[in-house]
Amino acid sequence: MRKLLRKIGYIKVLFILTVTTIIVAEILAYIVIKLFSYPYDDSTPYVTFMVASLTTPLLSWTLLKLLFELDEMEEKTYFLATYDSMTMLLRREAFFQYAMRIHLLAKQYDTPYSIAIVDIDNFKSINDKYGHDAGDKVIIHFGQILLDLFQLDKPIGRIGGEEFALVLPVESRDMEKKMKAVHMKLQETSILYDDNLITYTVSIGIFGNVSPEKITLDEALSYADKALYEAKRTGKNKSVIYHEKIAFNDIPGRPVNLRDR
């Protein structure tokens, strides 16, 4: 209902409400006159029309304005709580909520999905060399690349300072192909900052959950995180799909449950 009112607009809602009130007032006036045998003359409909058309906008204007302002505030609050202001990607909490929805759907229909966790390589060095403003531009730049390559309605989130994540209803090899497009895009682009051309790469860990009824979302996130660590450990600037050998590589200082980090 609120979405419909928002779509119609403030002025149109006021007009519809006024017209509706006039019609109802005319009907009620006629019924009351007939029930109680009040005198009825040609001026009665005109008086009813004038009273309803003048009082309805006056009484409704402030109330409708307040309702629309509250709705706008709620919409802005929802947006700020859902999307990262720097990249316009999902915030950490919102991303995990979307990821859980995909996991539950995959579990219900026994379909696979894949998680990719992406980390900008040597991000601290970029901050140290060019400054934190340059680091922010790198984050914004990479967020835009993800938005350009993937639809906005897909679960793409910024889950840490320079760490991002995606959940797509595809198998791991398909996710790897999509992440290859990310690597290629970064090879073709650079950032101009204070007369300096900044280039950067990313490392990506991928896990394809083909058994969502057995492997939980937290486990899937952990496996993707371990694959990311393997990509970092073996040279960076690459995508690594989780495999059994990685399972025995502990990640120092990183909790098993990625959502607790």
Q: What is the rounded CA–CA span in Å between residue 53 and residue 56? A: 6
Per DSSP, the three-state class of 96 is helix
261 neighbors 254 (Cβ within 8 angstroms): yes
Active-site residue, selected from the candidate residues 162, 163, 176, 230 = 162
Q: What is the rounded CA–CA span in Å between residue 173 and residue 133? A: 36
Q: What is the rounded CA–CA span in Å between residue 19 and residue 21? A: 5
- Measuring CA to CA, which residue among 253, 201, 254 is closest to residue 224? 254
- Measuring CA to CA, which residue among 60, 73, 58, 59 is closest to residue 2? 73
Does residue 93 have an active-site annotation?
no
Q: What is the rounded CA–CA span in Å between residue 18 and residue 55? A: 9
Give catalytic residues, as residue numbers. Answer: 162
